[in-house]
Structure 1
């Protein structure tokens, strides 16, 4: 199915930096939440993007992904390595905006303000458990609907029809990249004006099926290592090989910038 890239309207006036051909908003967590709420209130479509080293590597290998990421209305740094790289390149970002934490903050906001959410992704059991956990934590939360992530591309029109019927304010999408990004762009092109946020494995964490790294591990910027230890076969190449590739590219960009300054 052809993916139409939606050039989104930017409602924020915050600056952006560019790291390895990837635009990133200079936003902290609270600023991000306030900005996302503007999109919800004005019914302005938003692909809320979080980038880490793996996503930036993909941006530099996949032209379509680069176009999708850089067209998003809000692009957060969801990776300690991206924050460290921004400081190394002398264009520091304020803090990591972790996807699982941002999702839970937006869920809390939704309960407080009466916004509705939709959960799309993961196994049926996991997405059901995620919905139940969130409703127990937030009794007044409006869950417009849930759908597992086990569907094919020819099912996308049905997903779109379901969302148009339910009209959620925020859709959390927990499926793998790059299908996740292609799906969100398709749903937007079909006229779904929600805030769409890719949340990776957040459903597994919230439902309790995969433990979150202890707080001290998160603060030490080692949450990625904790995740590798949980799923070494799936994540070893992404993090160890991918992180070294990212580091090498950052060093090259730093030297390239110095060379330009000396010209």
Structure 2
């Protein structure tokens, strides 16, 4: 039975990495309807406070993972049961491993021109047995969507990874999932850049401490304004009665 906890109105599934993977495998093997999977961090939760469409999309998702140490801190503050940070990139990695071992297929949509292609080449090398159904960059006009969706469906991908960044990817999946015939449509943001080698992930020590955000800030000081959402998020958690 699905168990969720609410953080500022956004429902998160109470799962660890292993449980999340098992749920995704179940989605993958049953392949009855397209399952939407999102990984909100504090920034996305804060966006959902004002963006009612995004709020609805997260509420209606088939799996919502706590990607962000801030969400786990909020859980501790409120005495909730969210104890494990389950990141999009780590979950994607485990899913790709499963796809390699079981010859499942993927399609990557997003990133700058050439990035998705490079990510797929690297994934193909890293996970023997995986089927690369296709890829397409994220720089397209709305009028091109029907053709892109046709391409995805013709590729018969089991999993569609959408890498537009939030909230664009969540809204795109929600808008188009009734037209897709894959088993899973998952928003994974900048993961495409990590697999392409365009962006280097934080060292393991930073990952284990939940300080990837700090590592990225050190590498990209221009992100400071965006990072200021974390203290605002925690203050709102403390003063909001739920």
Residue matched to 2:198: 209
CA separation of 1:98 and 1:191: change in aligned 2, threshold 3 A: closer
Structure 1 stretches lacking a partner, 5+ long: 1-12, 258-263
Aligned-pair RMSD on alpha carbons?
1.3
* Deviation (angstroms), 1:125: 2.2
2:129 to 128, 131, 140: 140
Looking at structure 2, the residues matched to 191 and 220 of structure 1 have their Cα atoms a distance apart, in angstroms, of 38
- Offset at residue 231 of structure 1 (A): 2.6
* Structure 2: gaps of 5 or more residues: none
The reply to whether residue 250 of structure 1 matches residue 232 of structure 2 is: no
Larger radius of gyration: 1
Whole-Å separation in 2 of the counterparts to 1:94 and 1:46: 24
Which residue number in structure 2 is paired with residue 5 of structure 1? none
Deviation at 1:208, TM superposition (A): 1.6
Change (3 A) 1:191 1:213: closer
Tell me how far 1:211 sits from its aligned partner.
1.1
* TM-aligned CA deviation for residue 186 of structure 1: 2.1
The partner residue of 1:188 within 153, 177, 181 is 177
Q: TM-score, normalised by structure 1?
A: 0.88
Instruction: Give the counterpart of 2:45 among 56, 71, 82.
Output: 56
1:83–1:92 Cα contact (<8 Å) kept: no
Q: Judge which range, 166-175 or 188-197, deviates more.
A: 188-197
1:127 aligned residue: 116
Q: Counterpart in 1 of 2:8?
A: 20
**8 Å contact kept, 1:160–1:192:** no
Greater shift, 138-147 or 190-199, is seen at 190-199
1:34 pairs with 22, 47, 52, which one?
Answer: 22
Look up the SS of the partner of 1:17 in the other structure: strand
Q: Do the aligned partners of 2:99 and 2:129 also contact (CA within 8 Å) in 1?
A: no
2:107, 2:161 within 8 Å by CA — same for their partners in 1? yes
1:197 aligns with 2:222: no
**Greater than 4 Å deviation, 4+ residue runs:** none
Change (3 A) 1:36 1:61: same
User: How many angstroms does 1:164 deviate by?
Assistant: 1.6
Once the two structures are TM-superposed, the CA of residue 191 in structure 1 deviates from its matched residue by 4.2
Asked if 1:230 is matched to 2:210, the reply is: no
- Determine whether 1:115 maps to 2:117: no
Task: Using structure 2 for the length normalisation, give the TM-score.
Answer: 0.95
2:210 aligned counterpart, secondary structure: coil
* Cα displacement (A) at 1:177: 2.0
Aligned residue-pair number: 241
* Partner in structure 2 of residue 153 of structure 1: 142
